[in-house]
Amino acid sequence: MKKILVTGALGQIGSELTLKMREIYGYDNIIATDIRRTESDVVQSGPFEILDVTEEKAMFNMAKKYEVDTIIHLAALLSATAEKKPLLAWHLNMGGLVNALEAARELNCQLFTPSSIGAFGPTTPKNLTPQDIIQRPTTMYGVNKVSGELLCDYYYSKFGVDTRGLRFPGLISYMTPPGGGTTDYAVEIYYEAIKHKRYTSYIAEGTYMDMMYMPDALTAIITLMEADASKLKHRNSFNVSAMSFDPAKIAAEIQKHIPEFVLNYKVDPVRQSIADSWPNRIDSTCAKEEWGFNPEYNLEKMTKDILSKLRLKSI
Ligand code: AKB
Q: Is the CB of 11 under 6 A from ligand 1?
A: no
Looking at residue 74, what is its pLDDT?
A: 98
Atom of ligand 1 nearest to the CA of 78: 3
Cα dist from 275 to 8, 122, 193, 262, whole Å: 24, 10, 23, 22
Q: Are 88 and 21 in contact (CB under 8 A)?
A: no
From the CA of 1, how far away is ligand 1's center (Å)? 32
- Pocket test of ligand 1: the residue of 83, 93, 116 to mutate, having most ligand atoms within 8 Å of its CB, is 116
Looking at residue 1, what is its pLDDT?
A: 85
From the CA of 55, how far away is ligand 1's center (Å)? 25
Tens-place pLDDT, residues 179-229: 899 999 999 999 999 999 999 999 999 999 999 999 999 999 999 999 999
* ipTM of the prediction: 0.99
DSSP string, 123-137: TS-SEEE-SS-----
Residue 176: pLDDT above 80?
Answer: yes
Q: Is the CB of 93 under 6 A from ligand 1?
A: no
Q: Is the CB of 286 under 6 A from ligand 1?
A: no
| Residues 54, 58: Cα–Cα separation, whole Å | 8
Please say whether the dihedral angle defined by the alpha carbons of residues 168, 188, 216 and 302, taken in this order, is positive or negative: negative
| Residues 72, 220: Cα–Cα separation, whole Å | 13
Q: Is the CB of 148 under 6 A from ligand 1?
A: no
Atom of ligand 1 nearest to the CA of 182: 2
Mean pLDDT value across the chain: 97
Tens-place pLDDT, residues 254-281: 999 999 999 999 999 999 999 999 999 9
Catalytic amino acids? 141
Q: With DSSP H G I counted as helix, E B as strand and the rest as coil, what are the percentages for the chain, rounded to 5?
A: 45, 15, 35
Atom of ligand 1 nearest to the CA of 116: 7
Looking at residue 289, what is its pLDDT?
A: 97
From the CA of 282, how far away is ligand 1's center (Å)? 14
